[in-house]
Structure 1
Amino acid sequence: MLAADLFLFARSVRERAPLVHCLTNLVVTNFTANVLLALGAAPAMVVAREEVSEFAPMANAVSVNLGTLDLPQSRAIRAAVDAANTANTPWILDPVAVGPLSFRTEFALDLLDARPAVIRGNASEIISLSGGVSSGRGVDSTALAETALDAAQLLALKTGAVVAVTGATDYVTDGRRTVALSNGSVLMTRVTGVGCALSATVAAFVGIAQAEDFRAATVAAVAYSSIAGELAARDAALPGSFAVAYLDKLASLDENAFAATLVHRDIPAA
């Protein structure tokens, strides 16, 4: 994929301001909203079960995050997903901490039947969703992203979703075509919400794309976010200043800097 083609998605987000309906966790709500605003998207944190069925069809995309899942939220998520599917609105699944915890694992597996457009998780989460044995520790992965590549490809073929495995190297696959992305900074793991906000970013990029372009839109979202993190880390050496610099870089990253920083490669099909 050419850098110019990938950056077009970011430009379209800025121009079209897609509405992203976020059903996310309590820890990251504010940061996720700020990331979307920095990108030029419009966040909406409508979480009441009584409202989500009405709101999800109004959005350009829905982002579902299981980070602080409880029974009432699971019912609201299911209602939002069903409404999104009825309206042909793409939705993204972030299966936080699946594997070690049975309630959220069973719920996430059930959601796979509801046809997410994209599944974005760490290696342990993707391995668990594909039927493997998880090595996760709570919300953290104890597996490297590359160890989940086979599982990601299998999960993509099984569900029809684009699957993004994020880590030191990120992988995006539709089961047949896979891209590895090697940008980012370790500081991105030291600010709460960066990973969860990435799933909402994917939703924003997918929300302005046609279905046949969901894989490219996901690659663009992951690349844009990781490049913004890498460049922000050059100006901010500690987590607090990095969080601010990251938002600023999301808002200001231009095509020239994006193209000059992007590191990616296609993975040959097995």
Structure 2
Amino acid sequence: MANTFDEQYVALAYRVFGKFVGTYLVDEFRDMRPDIQKANIRISLLEYLSTALLTSVFVFVAQVPLISVIMLILLKSIILGLITGLLFGLFCAVGVFMLFYFYPSIRVQERCKQINESLPFAMFYLTTISGSGTPPLAMFKMLAMFKEYAEISEEASKIVYDVEIAGMSITKALEDAAGRTPSEHLREIYWGINNSLTTGGDLRTLLYEKANSSMEEYKRSLKEFTDRLSMLTEIYLTGVIVGSIFFMVLSTIMSSFGGSSGTIISLQLGVTFILLPILSMAFVFILRQISPAHAI
């Protein structure tokens, strides 16, 4: 029984469009299935496409009358207002559906980045607890409870669920985890642990080696980030800060030679209170996108 609003909405979408989607759309969008799984979206492809279609219809129904009324007032023409409303509503509906289409791949990239950034620390944690002879399943239980590792803890909790609830063996659970994780590095670790358990290898040595290699990769990413940060800081200081100061000085000099002082003051205010904040926020956004999670 659907309890939350999200579950109720997905259930409604499936009831309304499930048959249509299953007949006409699932095969056309089957390439989305791996990304939906790796993005940790816990509904099927059929339910996801049904939700996307229902949301697009709702957007279309909401936008058409709203835009039609607005354009009717502006254009003083019922026909032009309706045509504009229909076109704009169709554009918004298609846009929403495309957002649903691209969201899983975007989410996969985000999860992959988060996993890779937390992986060195999680691996050293596993190495430490494996040294005391802790069984593999207990190791993943402890990792699942350590929420500071975010997506890695989520991956570990799935392994625990597969073993304790679904009744899988630990090796089968690791195989499934390797197939659904978006991180290539974590996939290699899963297969390494699986091979170690199957062949009776030294698990602690394996984890220690993987932890070291992950940390080296993390250090390399930090160095690349430092180099990029230096370059972007120079660009920001030169192009934004110095450029703004130069504009202020130059515009003030121009105003003294008979320029329109009102226009120049408006431009200066626009640069100071609109352009500079926008560029500064864009700079911070770029930094957060390229930075490792523990860097800033």
Name the one with the larger helix percent.
2
Q: Report the TM-score when normalising by structure 2.
A: 0.23
TM (normalized to structure 1)? 0.24
Larger strand fraction of residues: 1
